[in-house]
Amino acid sequence: MSLSFAASASNAIDLHVLPQDGVDDWLSRQSPTTVAWVRANAFAGLIGQALVIPDTGGLPSMALAGYGTAGTRLRGRFALAAAASKLPKGAYRIISGLPEDQIEVEALGWLLSGYRFDRYKSAAPMAAQLIAPDSIDASRVEAIANGEALTRTLINTPASDMGPPDLEQAARDLAEQHGASIAVTVGDDLLTTNLPMIHTVGRAANRAPRLIDMRWGETGPTLTLVGKGVCFDTGGLNIKPGASMGLMKKDMGGAAAVLGLAHMIMATGKKVQLRVLIPAVENSISDNAYRPQDILTSRKGLTVEINNTDAEGRLVLADALALADEEKPDQIISMATLTGAARVAVGPDLAPYFSDDAGFVAALEASAVRVADPVWRLPFHTPYESMIEPGIADLDNAPKGGFAGCITAALFLRRFVTDSKYAHFDIYGWQPSAAPARSKGGVGQGTRALLDAIDRILTP
């Protein structure tokens, strides 16, 4: 689906966005009829409140949206979107009330409120449409919204329709849209091109594993995005309990996130040389599935002891990261729904990330606040390196003990990037319950912050 602003219209409804402490002041400048209507409807400027004020003929003359207080706005994001979803059909033009530095974020939130996953069941479009405020770059905001919509739709699609071939097709469609090149290595060709761990993890499935490699841009600094594309994760021979398998269609959330981010980068014309690598597999069970205690040799030559076949994401990412690092790009970023430990640490709303680059951290965290896309830094804690060294091989894919699981996973991945700056995001990729601008289901995390920070991250 496409998310876009409404065309300007002569019959657009003026929308006043009012914080709680601004309602009385605004009412002091209105007619007695308007004051009576607002009071009768108990509009107090609370977040989520919306009210249409009729003219003498009963048609909308204006509308109000609550903007809460500074304190209540800190408890969530996209305050305007909370009201937008309650407004009746029509095109709305924001007249007053939003702080200048929040107009773009709130306009984006309004667009994202219009997202619907309607592949299998029709869904009514959002009734209230927003005319783009004059102070924002409307095409840029639409590009961001549609990149996020792409991520959500890819995650929401069940594995029956989003296996490795389908993920490949989504990447091909995106490449065609933006004039990018794409190459895909499938099945046993992964062995002849030295991508053995991607092959091993995916070989038990009846839909062949593959490595998707997309490139765009001919000038500027080099940026490589690597996304985990495990289209369904049974856990392999270390099979997950049924309850733990329920959301495993979202285990390709890292791939969905980097494709959404790639759309944002290409649609906004960022001056970068972009590469997107996605190892796309299913972690299935069959007579040729890889086993606990197997030892795998990676593209980089490091050997890996398999102590749990349900720690497969780091294996496929490792080969892709090693491939990415061979070109020595200015920045490599991986995104993956990698560990439950990250969710235990920070919950579903924050995007935890790892980076040792002070410039990257400063740029990302400033952007995260500016665009309302929260992130939280976790450490590449080098003293824990011994936890991923089993003795019988170079690395252990699932260290015993259960401590610091997201950190040891990140340290494992870092072993495969030796010549480039590297950051890793261990995202959840799922909105457990509906919130303003975020329907229940797949969601992007960290991508808008990265887009905003890219120019500063890639500046030497």
Total number of domains constituting the chain: 2
Q: What is the mean pLDDT of residues 40-55?
A: 97
Distance CA 337, CA 255 (A): 9
CATH of residue 79: 3.40.220.10
Q: What is the mean pLDDT of residues 322-328?
A: 98
Distance CA 410, CA 428 (A): 15
**Same domain, yes or no, for 41 and 176?**
no
With pLDDT > 70 as the criterion, what percentage of the chain qualifies?
100
Task: For residue 324, name the pLDDT band (cuts at 50, 70, 90).
Answer: very high
**Same domain, yes or no, for 146 and 115?**
no
pLDDT for res 9? 80
Find tokens 């991520």 and name the residue: 151
**Same domain, yes or no, for 330 and 452?**
yes
Task: For residue 168, name the pLDDT band (cuts at 50, 70, 90).
Answer: very high
Asked, for residue 1, whether it belongs to a domain, the answer is no
Asked, for residue 221, whether it belongs to a domain, the answer is yes
For residue 402, count other CB atoms closer than 10 A to its CB.
7
HSE-CB of 392 using CA atoms within 13 angstroms: 11
pLDDT for res 8? 83
Domain endpoint, select from 85, 105, 131? 131
Distance CA 73, CA 76 (A): 6
Q: Nearest Cα to 149, choosing from 458, 453, 443? A: 443
Q: What is the mean pLDDT of residues 83-99?
A: 93
Which amino acid, residue 201? Answer: V
Strand order in the sheet with 303-305: 295-297, 303-305, 395-396
Distance CA 42, CA 277 (A): 53
**Same domain, yes or no, for 109 and 184?**
no
pLDDT tens per residue, range 132-154: 999 999 999 999 999 999 999 99
**Same domain, yes or no, for 151 and 271?**
yes
**Same domain, yes or no, for 85 and 41?**
yes
Q: What is the mean pLDDT of residues 442-451?
A: 98
pLDDT for res 70? 93
pLDDT for res 68? 97
39 is catalytic: no
**Same domain, yes or no, for 25 and 47?**
yes
pLDDT for res 402? 83
Q: What are phi and psi of 259, to 5 degrees?
A: -70, -40
Q: Which of 73, 86, 240, 370 is catalytic?
A: 240
Res. 460: pLDDT tops 90: no
Please give the C-alpha separations between residue 233 and each of 288, 333, 373, 402, 412, in angstroms, as whole numbers: 16, 23, 27, 20, 20
**Same domain, yes or no, for 123 and 158?**
no
pLDDT for res 382? 97
**Same domain, yes or no, for 67 and 166?**
no
Res. 96: pLDDT tops 90: no
3-state SS, residue 91: strand
Q: Which of 152, 207, 314, 438 is catalytic?
A: 314
Task: For residue 14, name the pLDDT band (cuts at 50, 70, 90).
Answer: very high
Asked, for residue 3, whether it belongs to a domain, the answer is no
**Same domain, yes or no, for 175 and 217?**
yes
Task: For residue 358, name the pLDDT band (cuts at 50, 70, 90).
Answer: very high
For residue 161, count other CB atoms closer than 10 A to its CB.
11
Q: Which domain holds residue 306?
A: 142-457
**Same domain, yes or no, for 405 and 308?**
yes
Domain endpoint, select from 131, 151, 175? 131
Res. 220: pLDDT tops 90: yes
Distance CA 150, CA 170 (A): 9
Beta bridge partners of 101: none
Tokens of 440: 């229940």
Domain endpoint, select from 131, 151, 174? 131
Distance CA 387, CA 458 (A): 32
Q: Nearest Cα to 43, choosing from 81, 83, 80? A: 83
pLDDT for res 425? 98
Q: What is the mean pLDDT of residues 348-376?
A: 98
Q: Nearest Cα to 404, choosing from 424, 379, 422? A: 379
pLDDT for res 459? 82
Res. 1: pLDDT tops 90: no
Q: What is the mean pLDDT of residues 177-202?
A: 98
Q: What is the mean pLDDT of residues 256-277?
A: 98
271 is catalytic: no
**Same domain, yes or no, for 178 and 89?**
no
